[in-house]
Amino acid sequence: MDLARAADFIARAVRTVALTGAGISVPSGIPDYRSANTGVWENYDPMAVANIEAFRRDPAPFYTAYAALGRALLVARPNPAHVALARLEQMGVLTAVITQNIDSLHQAAGSRTVYELHGNLRGGACLACRKRVAFRPLLERLVADEELPVCADCGAVIKPDVVLFGENLPRQTLMKAAASAQFADVCLCVGTSLVVYPAAAVPLETLNGGGAVIIVNREPTPLDREAAAVLRGDVAEVLPALADAVAERWDGSLQDAGSFDTY
């Protein structure tokens, strides 16, 4: 059974990292981006609304698209899958969470070492004067009144700390994520299609380093054949069951390997 096999791999590992995609937050009410009929990009062309050059020319289409997503983000709470990963970290099993998500639900669930490859919505900056701001109040006003987020000092548009198409991923975050995956014994991929790079290269770092990949996803991924175990189903059900199975096998004898925040 793949659940038992996956639990065996994780319980024996010195370092396990998790790579998470939009699928882990779907049970929290946040739509993913590419699913048929429900994905965010079903109604919007990502290159037209979520491209940095398009944003600089006219941020209104971006904020129109993100107003709908913002409603879900403002009320979303961690689901059992987020909690299961935080539990594995607290046990000393999980070294880090590497996420493509911008919703901060891993931190809300209690995860401490989280590498956000695509940024987050906690903060933002003025494109003109570079003033830093907390973004949640601006998101609340956008959702409530369709008020475009602008700088209180100079009136220019505020850009949230999310990585748009045409922008580089945060270099230090990417380096830490790659290093943690490279030296991991197991990379646990949860709710990600593994088709969007450079995030999709994270489990390849583990495979190239001699580690194993475990996949928890509803749909097939390009790495299924390379995976040591593939678990299908609702991540909010599968991950808690996997965490329970790991806890039954985990004796705590392996020292916590720590994160790469100091590397």
Share of the chain above pLDDT 70, in %: 90
CA distance 52 to 167: 7
* pLDDT(156) > 70: yes
Pair of tokens at residue 32: 């993913």
- 228 pLDDT band, cuts 50/70/90, is very high
pLDDT reported for residue 48: 76
* pLDDT(68) > 90: no
pLDDT reported for residue 37: 47
| Model pTM score | 0.91
* pLDDT(62) > 50: yes
DSSP assignment of the chain equals -HHHHHHHHHHH-S-EEEEE-GGGTGGGT---SSSTTTSGGGTS-HHHHSBHHHHHH--HHHHHHHHHHHHHHHH----HHHHHHHHHHHHT-EEEEEE---S-HHHHHT---EEETTEEEEEEEETTT--EEESHHHHHHHHHH-PPPB-TTT-PBEEEEEPPBTSPPPHHHHHHHHHHHHT-SEEEEES--S-STTGGGHHHHHHHTT-EEEEE-SS--TTGGG-SEEE-S-HHHHHHHHHHHHHHH--S-SPP---STT-
Closest listed residue to residue 146, CA positions, set 75, 64, 73: 64
Per-residue pLDDT of 71-97, as tens digits, reads 889 999 999 999 999 999 999 999 999
Second CATH level (architecture) for the domain 40-75+121-162: 2-Layer Sandwich (3.30)
Task: Among 151-160, 227-236, 251-260, name the one with the lowest average pLDDT.
Answer: 251-260
Say how many residues make up the chain: 263
pLDDT reported for residue 191: 96
Q: What is the 3-state secondary structure (H, E, C) of 102-167?
A: CCCHHHHHCCCCEEECCEEEEEEEECCCCCEEECHHHHHHHHHHCCCCECCCCCCEEEEEECCECC
115-123 mean pLDDT: 96
| Higher local confidence (pLDDT), 48 or 218 | 218
Domain ranges, ordered by start, for the chain: 2-30+78-118+169-249, 40-75+121-162
Do the beta carbons of residue 197 and residue 19 sit within 8 Å? no
* pLDDT(255) > 50: no
Positions marked catalytic: 118
Q: Which of 107-121, 144-158, 248-262 has the largest mean confidence?
A: 107-121
* pLDDT(256) > 70: no
Per-residue pLDDT of 3-59, as tens digits, reads 999 999 999 999 999 999 999 999 999 987 655 544 455 566 767 778 999 999 999
- Phi/psi for 125 (5° steps) reads -145, 145
CA distance 58 to 61: 7
Fold of 2-30+78-118+169-249: Rossmann fold (3.40.50)
pLDDT reported for residue 209: 95
pLDDT mean across residues, the chain: 90
154-173 mean pLDDT: 94
